[in-house]
Amino acid sequence: GYFFVLPFVIVYFAFQFYPTLYTLALAFTDSKGFTGLSGNYKFVGGVNFLRLVTDKYFWGAVENTFIMWGWNFIPQLGVALILSIWLSDSRLKLKGRGFFRAVIYMPNLLTTASVALLFRSLFGYPLGPVNQFLQSLGFFAEVTREDGSVVQEAFNFFRYVSASRGIVAFIQWWMWYGHTVIMLMAGITSINESLFESALVDGANSRQTTWYITLPLLRPMMLFILVTSMIGGMQMLDIPFLLTDMRGAPDFKIRTTIVYMYNMAFQGVNDYAYAAAICIGVFVIIFALALIIFFGMQDRSELKRARAAKLAGRIAK
């Protein structure tokens, strides 16, 4: 048994455990550039973390990350709920459910880098397909020149903050809503069928069955999806990185925390120590938010029953 486990242990310690410890140790140094990685650095204590707490660019990246994740997650969960309920409802008798599930999930199989480059080309300025389509319908952007004259030209989508964030959020939604649909369908199919049969016998319609049976019993699955989506959103890199100038333009408003970490580590001064501190900071934020979400979405009735049972056990003793 140990012989078969050994390859996993070796790979885990080489590519997961050791890099994690090295990142933690690096955050307490002044390592910069390749000379720093070779050991030419000194320990500086918590200087990098003090800098992180007061770094307005880091907190701006955190804000950007949550805005784009929120724009993506809310419609993602809403659309996925509707589709999963439709595809799981036997009373609708939908044909080709397997085909629709496969089509919905297919965007998740694409690499994020290729999708980012595809959308960069689609919304390209001035001759991207989207711009050509809008111009054929008579839609143009109006630009005021220095002399006060107004001219019409193609839309430069990546010059506008809301448009850039919207494109990033749409790509994230398009790529991941299929995965959410599959997860919710798995949660729905795990619900005891006798509950739906009893509701049908009692005269409940589809809306009542969904509201009083499906949604309450999907709480654990939705909690899991919320936490994992939040973790993935905080690690967003490929799409905002490749969509514009690799620094989060325009005005750094699509620069996520991981893009900022990459900029600090591998562009400019190669500040590996501060980039490591950013990684630790992101982990702390994710961990704190995961705890808040977990305890905030717990079923209060179950907690009350557990406390009552514990209290009864103490009284019995």
Identify the CA nearest to 24 among candidates 217, 302, 278, 310.
278
Cis peptide before 75 (omega within 30 of 0): no
pLDDT at site 300: 63
Ranges of beta strands (E only) in 168-258 are: none
Q: Residue 44, Cβ neighbours under 10 Å: how many?
A: 13
The pLDDT of residue 167? 96
pLDDT of residue 304: 59
User: What domains lie within the chain, and their CATH numbers?
Assistant: 2-299 (1.10.3720.10)
Question: Helix (H, G, I), strand (E, B), or coil: what is residue 238?
Answer: helix
Residue 126's pLDDT is 86
Residues 182/88, Cβ–Cβ less than 8 Å: no
Helix 161-189, helix 97-105: angle, nearest 10: 140
How far, in Å, CA of 100 to CA of 106, rounded? 10
Torsion sign, CA atoms 83, 85, 91, 97: positive
- What's the CA gap between 207 and 228, in Å, rounded? 28
- pLDDT of 208: 87
Query: Which residues on neighbouring strands pair with residue 150, listed in sequence order?
Result: 144
Q: What are the residues facing 141 on neighbouring strands?
A: 153
The per-residue pLDDT for 204 is 84
The DSSP letter of residue 247 is S
Predicted local distance difference test score (pLDDT) of residue 313: 59
Q: What is the pLDDT of residue 262?
A: 94
Say how far residue 240 (Cα) sits from the centre of its chain.
12
Q: What is the largest CA-CA distance in the chain?
A: 88
The secondary structure of 70-133 as a DSSP string is HHHHHHHHHHHHHHHHHHH-TTT--S-HHHHHHHHHGGGGS-HHHHHHHHHHHT-TTT-HHHHH
Q: What is the pLDDT of residue 163?
A: 94
Nearest to 81 by CA among 258, 268, 210: 210
List, in order, residues 6 or more apart from 83 with CB less than 8 Å away.
104, 177, 181
Nearest to 126 by CA among 159, 104, 102: 159
The whole-number pLDDT of residue 225 equals 94
Reference 73, options 205, 258, 232; nearest CA is 232
Instruction: Kindly give the confidence (pLDDT) of every residue in the chain, 317 residues in length, as a single tens digit, with 9 standing for 90 and above.
Output: 788 899 999 999 999 999 999 999 999 998 887 665 666 788 998 999 999 999 999 999 999 999 999 999 999 999 999 999 888 877 777 788 888 888 999 999 999 999 999 999 999 998 899 999 999 998 888 888 877 788 888 999 999 999 999 999 999 999 999 999 999 999 998 888 888 888 888 888 888 888 888 998 998 899 999 999 999 999 999 999 999 888 888 999 999 999 999 999 988 888 999 999 999 999 999 999 999 988 877 766 655 566 656 655 565 55
Look up residue 210 and give its DSSP letter. Answer: I
Query: Residue 148: left if φ>0, alpha if ψ -120 to 50, beta else—which one?
Result: left
What is the Cα–Cα distance from 273 to 162, expressed in whole angstroms? 33
**8 Å CB contact between 165 and 248:** no
